[in-house]
């Protein structure tokens, strides 16, 4: 299983939100590249980079941060946050992303999202499935849709999606453990899905549990920044 640290960007800085609330923002580092290098130095190979300004503006904003990290590290970067147009996706890939994540676009304009899947292939496109009360949430988690999570995942899996980042919003930033039962249920229904768990990871024990469930990756953010999981522990894992 891959460890995937998260760097969330607002105003070019490394921040974390609690449950997606922009009012509950904490700046952890003024320089995201410094943070990315610290991950690479302990053997981390992947990075989940989120343009929170872009998520709010519905267009790519922090491509310069992506380009800087991609140019100065060898990290495999998946990039998301506000990608809504073909131009956004082109900019993200040209700036150095190896994969892009689409969430709201997959709900509101599925034909656009599926055109990206057809153009770039299943290895490049990740479906972002943010869930609240069993339903899909969109627009930076500000809006709950009527779409039921499992039906949503099954539909996109049939259409060729292989990679999914699933975030239980109720867990995100709370440092109270991940949604293990949810991930177990998803993988029971879709055993060949490359499922990347996100939200709530608070200890290495959580990471071990996600590996045992069969998750392909675990995104870790606040637990690292708050010192709940050390870089040394991640290196050993």
Kindly write down the DSSP assignment for every residue of 121-158, as one continuous string. Answer: -TTTEEEEEEEETTEEEETTTTEEEEEEHHHHHHHHHH
CA distance 198 to 219: 5
CA distance 57 to 150: 28
Place of tokens 């995942």: 153
CA distance 208 to 215: 10
Q: Which of 100, 95, 5, 16 lies closest to 52 in space, CA to CA? A: 16
Give the tokens for residue 173.
């930033």
* Residue 130 bears catalytic tag: yes
H/E run at residue 73: none
CA angle 45, 237, 47 (to 5 degrees): 25
* Residue 31 bears catalytic tag: no
> Could you give the count of Cα atoms lying within 13 Å of 68 in the half-sphere of its Cβ?
14
**Cβ distance 221 to 8 under 8 Å?**
yes
Please tell me which residue in 51, 53, 78, 130 is annotated as part of the active site: 130
Instruction: Please give the positions annotated as active site.
Output: 8, 130
């Amino acid at each position: 299983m891959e460890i995937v640290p998260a760097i969330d960007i607002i105003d070019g800085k490394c921040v974390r939100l609690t449950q997606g609330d922009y009012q509950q923002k904490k700046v952890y580092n003024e320089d995201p590249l410094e943070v990315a290098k610290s991950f690479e130095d302990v053997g981390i190979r992947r990075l989940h980079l989120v343009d929170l300004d872009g998520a709010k503006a519905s267009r790519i904003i922090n491509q310069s941060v992506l380009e800087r990290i991609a140019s100065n590290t060898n990290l495999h970067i998946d990039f998301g946050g506000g990608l809504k147009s073909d131009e956004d996706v082109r900019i993200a890939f040209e700036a150095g992303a190896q994969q892009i994540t689409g969430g709201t676009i997959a709900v509101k304009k599925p034909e656009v999202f599926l055109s990206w899947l057809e153009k770039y292939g299943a290895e490049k496109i990740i479906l972002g499935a943010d869930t609240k009360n069993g339903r899909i949430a969109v627009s930076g988690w500000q809006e709950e849709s009527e779409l039921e999570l499992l039906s949503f995942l099954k539909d996109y899996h049939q259409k060729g999606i292989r990679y999914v980042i699933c975030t239980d919003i109720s867990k995100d930033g709370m440092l109270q453990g991940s949604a293990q039962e949810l991930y177990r249920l998803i993988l029971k229904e879709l055993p060949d899905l490359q499922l990347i768990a996100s939200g709530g990871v608070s200890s290495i024990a959580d990471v071990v549990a996600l590996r045992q469930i069969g998750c392909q990756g675990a995104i870790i953010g606040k637990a690292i920044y708050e010192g709940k999981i050390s870089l040394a522990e991640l290196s050993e894992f």
